Amino acid sequence: MTLAQRLDQIRQQIPPHVRLIAVSKQVSVDTMKEAYEAGVRDFAESRLQEALTKQEQLKDLTDICWHFIGHLQSNKAKKVLKNFHWIHSVHNLKIAQRLNQLAAEHSLYPQVCLQVKILPDPNKYGWSASQLLEDLPELDQCKNLKIQGLMTILPLGLSKPQVVASFKQTRDLAAHIQSQSNLMMEQLSMGMSGDYLLAIQAGATMIRLGRIIFGERSLTG
Ligand SMILES: *Cc1c(COP(=O)(O)O)cnc(C)c1O
């Protein structure tokens, strides 16, 4: 099957309000161009340097929307801010405030999602639900961040019912936050190649798909 055919198959499974984001980490620019030809406009990257190189090579494709989904380090926050339209991986108050300060200095209003760990997972970054609720008043003060919703990555090895329950908890947390603050919680960035259909059932508005579009990666990242 060609990449375009795989994309067609996936698109048939997702409702029109769900945004399909192609996770292109470790994917060549030629393959990204092929995805672009097949209609993809949302690309996500998890490593800043790799992304900047590709953005330079793809700079003629001016309608690409770039999403940052990797670990957001303080010393790279400025470059991420300047080179991505969306940041899905704002993972604690400190980095949110840093990003807000940089955004204010550069008169930028980035669209961001807050990354939550709905289940404890030592291998992932993100707010716990309780910590996030505690930090809401300060997040409300981050006026340069257009906080749009939540992002989550589930731990590996969950059963299907656990996956569904965790995605629904993320959705419920977003609704709760919306009722407790002035934050917009319209986006739920959840669902990857292995679980995107369950995520959509639970209310995902953005799904981040890598392997199912581009094939297996050689390294994890
Ligand atoms: C790699 C990655 C994805 C895509 O995972 P696949 O299993 O290849 O679909 C989605 N989200 C994040 C944050 C990732 O790092």
Domain boundaries, the chain: 3-214
**Is the CB of residue 126 below 6 angstroms from any atom belonging to ligand 1?**
no
24: Cβ below 6 Å to ligand 1?
no
Q: Which atom of ligand 1 is nearest to the CA of 208?
A: 10
Amino acid at 83: N
pLDDT band at 141 (very low <50, low <70, confident <90, very high): very high
Whether 215 is in the pocket of ligand 1, judged by its Cβ within 6 Å, is: no
pTM to 2 decimals? 0.96
Tell me the mean pLDDT in the region 22-40: 98
Residue 48 to residue 76: CA distance in whole angstroms: 8
d(CA 45, CA 1): 24
Taking residues 168-185, report their average pLDDT.
96
pLDDT of residue 221: 47
pLDDT at 218: 76
Task: Place 219 in a pLDDT band, splitting at 50, 70 and 90.
Answer: low
| Position 217 pLDDT exceeds 90 | no
β-strands 86-90, 206-209: how paired? unpaired
pLDDT greater than 90 at residue 220: no
**Interval between CA 142 and ligand 1 midpoint (Å):** 27
Look at residue 198 and tell me whether its pLDDT is greater than 70: yes
Task: Indicate the residue type of 169.
Answer: Q
Q: Taking residues 104-113, what's their average pLDDT?
A: 97
The residues near 91 (Cβ < 8 Å, ≥ 6 apart) are 71, 72, 114, 115, 125, 126, 127
Section 104-125 average pLDDT? 95
The secondary structure of 173-192, three-state, reads: HHHHHHHHCCCCCCEEECCC
CATH 3.10.300.10 given to domain 3-214? no
Q: Is 183 in the pocket of ligand 1 (CB under 6 A)?
A: no
